[in-house]
Chains A and B, each alone.
Chain A
Amino acid sequence: GQQVMQIPQYQHVQEGEDFTTYCNSSTTLSNIQWYKQRPGGHPVFLIQLVKSGEVKKQKRLTFQFGEAKKNSSLHITATQTTDVGTYFCAGLDNYGQNFVFGPGTRLSVLP
């Protein structure tokens, strides 16, 4: 079945540094979503990417969908302590009915 992987599993950064997490799928995706989960909280939807090579920005967050639609990335510029949490990608392949979540990347930001 479809598998979605994320790297790194953990990332510790100093406040102000940049951060990137990568999402890779074993199959071609029709679209991909990104979520953020604060410690002790629930996942919150951030964005959805549909087109090959698509790039979307939300303030300091940049999301990219690979040309082959098998990978995606989330880049945070100049991290802040409010960015702390786990970032999940979720991919939907061309045959699936439901999104498959990756294991997440846990981000710690040291002040």
Chain B
Amino acid sequence: NAGVTQTPKFRVLKTGQSMTLLCAQDMNHEYMYWYRQDPGMGLRLIHYSVGEGTTAKGEVPDGYNVSRLKKQNFLLGLESAAPSQTSVYFCASTPTGLLGGYTFGSGTRLTVV
């Protein structure tokens, strides 16, 4: 089983460029999440989805957009990248959201110069 797959694994952007991070899961999970991880700050929730066609804002949503057109995919978009968005981005999924552990992808390391 692949679990949760994130692409790309690494990316360098120039300030103002846009990009999309792809997360795909093959476990038929309903809930999917996008987190960013910065040194000393743990994991902060950007956006999440409780099912196909739904999205909601998390703790730090500004500068990001998401889409969940298919149950297995959750896309994270950066419309105009800023150096403050340099981070490691993790996607996660869970069957129900409240009573199951999250399965995380291997992460995308993004640098904005």
Contacts and interface: CB of A to CB of B under 8 A. Distances in A.
Interface of A: 1, 9, 30-31, 33, 35, 41-48, 50, 88, 90, 92, 97-104
A41 B107 CA distance: 8
B48 A42 contact: no
Contacts of B103: 45
Most chain A CB atoms below 10 A, which of B58, B97, B104, B106: B104
Given A98-B45, A104-B42, A45 B97 contact: no
Interface residues of B, number: 24
23 contacts: A30-B98, A31-B99, A33-B101, A35-B101, A41-B106, A42-B90, A43-B102, A45-B103, A48-B99, A48-B100, A50-B99, A88-B42, A88-B43, A90-B43, A98-B33, A98-B97, A100-B45, A101-B43, A101-B44, A102-B42, A103-B40, A103-B42, A104-B42
Given A43-B92, A43-B104, A90-B43, 5 more contacts: A30-B98, A33-B101, A41-B106, A43-B43, A100-B59
B96 to A, nearest CB: 12
Main secondary structure of the interface of B (DSSP, over half): loop
Contacts of A90: 43
B58 A98 contact: yes
Interface of B: 33, 35, 40-45, 48, 58-59, 90, 92, 97-107
A1 B101 CA distance: 22
